Chains A and B, each alone.
Chain A
Amino acid sequence: MFPFTYHRPVELASAHALLVANEDAKLLAGGQTLIATLKQRLASPSDLVDLARVPGLTGMAREGEALTIGAMTRHAQVSASPLVVEALPALAELAGRIGDPAVRNRGTLGGSIANNDPSADYPAACLGLGAAIVTDRRVMAAGDFFLGLFETALEPDEIIVSVRFPIGGWAAYAKFANPASRYAMAGAFVWKGEGGVRVAITGAGQNGVFRWGAAEEALAADFRPAALEGLALDGDDMIADIHGSGTYRAHLAGVMTRRAVARILERGSP
């Protein structure tokens, strides 16, 4: 690691002030991505601003027809929360399949979506459920938030405070996990409710998480796995690496989408 100065602010405003005062400062959440990046010297922030003691960033609450989850809420807390299990079971399940137990005890929702790894799970849930990302200055639709590979609409000094997930409809997430890392080789988050169907694909696209429009249209007309027959993503647009080719991932994304649809139907809806 390169040297850095460590800060532990106890107010959101002072965390923000530290980011403004130090151009090369970085926020630290669970550290499950950032610490590895520092070790590899892939990042050299002058300052680390630890969000752990900033009040108001942790916890889950149901407010009307939305479930709000604080940015610093750990994956393990989301997966074990009776509130999430009841309101959005697919989200609880997704959180419970991120990495391994020790990673889930540290990693946070805010860190995961700020990082926007193309193989991360939460971005698919945010897009699939039509979530709103709440920062210290604005509210963004998930569709406007995820911009590309490790890229989001966040300003350099912007802090995610929470994510608001609408409740309602039926959802399921199917993921083919890389056997070594547990990151998605392809993951499909499918939602059906008032207003149609959403299919969010992670792990596969070269530009990170995306909505598969053709699948959404086909499923809106006929919500069955068979409705996806003949539909395929373009392998040239998919990630190709040592773990699998673009064609393989395009195929896998289709399989995961069909599994997610089947799971929704199995559970007796819609």
Chain B
Amino acid sequence: MQTLTLTVNGAAVTLTLDERTLLVELLRDHLRLTGTHVGCDTSQCGACTVHLDGVAVKACAVLAVQAEGAEILTIEGVGSTEHLHPMQAAFREHHGLQCGFCTPGMIMAGIDIASRHGPAPDEPTVRAELEGNLCRCTGYHNIVLAIQAGARAMGVPSSVATA
């Protein structure tokens, strides 16, 4: 067993866990943050995408112990029911989801794309960036539109985006 401390959605948490615990298990099973999904458990689908120290990672491919001291942001931490994050609002507006299973990962990936590529990523860029996020329902078209709209709404200046 190993004791670790990390920040999840702005709150410090300390847990004692089996070394084999995955970051996604820490989030879902121990903190009950079940918005982060497990679609494949083999690093393919991106449903488990969260931000670790500001960058997108697949939480099924990170051991919880590797996240000691890190800041984790999950879908629960990006907005609230009253105040959706601009990327969440864009997914609703543009029908970027059907069953919704891939959506938390898509939104976390989308925010990551906007923070690196700025407010106006073109379609090929968004499609290439979604290489690691699979959707079984939508055919991606509206997901791409939603991420472009969300990036615009986030309005991250491109100087920040290219840093």
Contact = CB atoms under 8 A, between A and B. Distances in A.
Nearest to A5: B19
A3 B63 CA distance: 13
Interface residues on A, range: 20 to 34
A8 interface: yes
Contacts, number: 73
B41 A105 contact: no
Contacts of B133: 100
Interface in B125-144: 129, 131-133
B63 A6 contact: yes
A101 B129 CA distance: 6
B2 interface: yes
Contact of A106 (B2, B62, B129, B131): B62
A36 B132 contact: no
Contacts of B16: none
B15 to A, nearest CB: 14
Given A4-B19, A6-B19, A99 B132 contact: yes
Q: Among the interface residues A4, A8, A102, A181, which one has the most CB atoms of the partner chain B within 10 A?
A: A102
Contact of A1 (B20, B42, B49, B66): B20
A171 B19 CA distance: 43
Contacts of B65: 6, 8, 50
B93 interface: no
B56 interface: yes
Interface in B38-63: 41-44, 46, 49, 52, 55-58, 61-63
B61 A100 contact: no
A39 B49 contact: no
The B interface is mostly helix, strand or loop, or mixed, namely mixed
B2 A6 contact: yes
A102 B20 contact: no
Contacts of A31: 61-63, 66
Contacts of A4: 19-20
B46 A106 contact: no
A52 B20 contact: no
Contacts of B57: 102, 105-106
A180 B41 CA distance: 15
A153 interface: no
A149 interface: no
A99 B131 CA distance: 8
27 contacts: A1-B20, A3-B20, A6-B19, A6-B65, A28-B63, A31-B61, A31-B62, A31-B63, A31-B66, A32-B61, A35-B22, A36-B42, A36-B43, A38-B20, A50-B65, A99-B132, A101-B56, A101-B113, A101-B129, A101-B131, A102-B57, A102-B61, A103-B58, A103-B61, A105-B52, A106-B58, A182-B131
Interface of B: 2, 18-20, 22, 41-44, 46, 49, 52, 55-58, 61-63, 65-66, 68, 109, 112-113, 129, 131-133
The 9 A-B pairs at the shortest CB distance, nearest first, are namely A100-B132, A100-B131, A6-B19, A105-B55, A1-B20, A102-B58, A102-B56, A6-B65, A102-B132
